[in-house]
Structure 1
């Protein structure tokens, strides 16, 4: 299939598909005229890439994870145990960021309806 068809089937833009190829995440065949030729496996790969990116992982991490996928029914199986600690660390980082953002939101919530300069705001 051509790039437009793959984009339609996966929800990824053509630009994103080219980027995935540049990053080594996707390897379509090339036709004699130079056009990319994607097979069904590429569609599965693109869906996995999009899931992993939506989890907050960068393309370098995605490149490490993709070869560890065991079959077409899961995103990541236990075939690469060395990745588990890295993914657990990423989850801890996200949890910490959520905690920081929640604290910031709580501070903003406490300011709603209160003057920023205390009881007597300076004259303008």
Structure 2
């Protein structure tokens, strides 16, 4: 199938599909005319890419993790490859750190917004 058909089947723009190729996430065949040719496995790969992007992973992390994900119907749900599990655990820890940093920033804003003298909160050194 050509890029327009893959875009239609996955709900992803052709531009995004070309970006995924640039990042090494998709490797379509090339026709002699230069047109990209995708297969049914690419549909599954795009769904996997979109899921991992929604989970907060960047394209470099996805490139590392995606090859270890089983295709639908290949085996039991969830990854069983130790390297894949390690990569997912690292990404989960990174996201947790970001959440903690955001919660701390929100707490500071709450303190400033609720303070009778906001300038005192701003000038108080933080640990």
After TM superposition, the score normalised by the length of structure 1 is 0.79
Counterpart secondary structure, 2:118: coil
Within 5 A, what are the aligned runs for 1:52-71?
Answer: 52-71=52-71
| Structure 1: unaligned runs, 5 residues or longer | 119-124
Query: Could you say which structure has the higher helix fraction?
Result: 2
Structure 1 segments, 4+ long, off by >4 Å, are: 73-76
After TM superposition, the score normalised by the length of structure 2 is 0.77
What's the Cα RMSD here?
2.2
Within 5 A, what are the aligned runs for 1:15-30?
Answer: 15-30=15-30
Which structure is larger by alpha-carbon Rg, 1 or 2?
A: 1
Number of residue pairs matched?
Answer: 117
2-side partners of 1:71 and 1:58: how far apart? Answer: 20
| Structure 2: unaligned runs, 5 residues or longer | 121-127
Look up the match of 1:95. 96
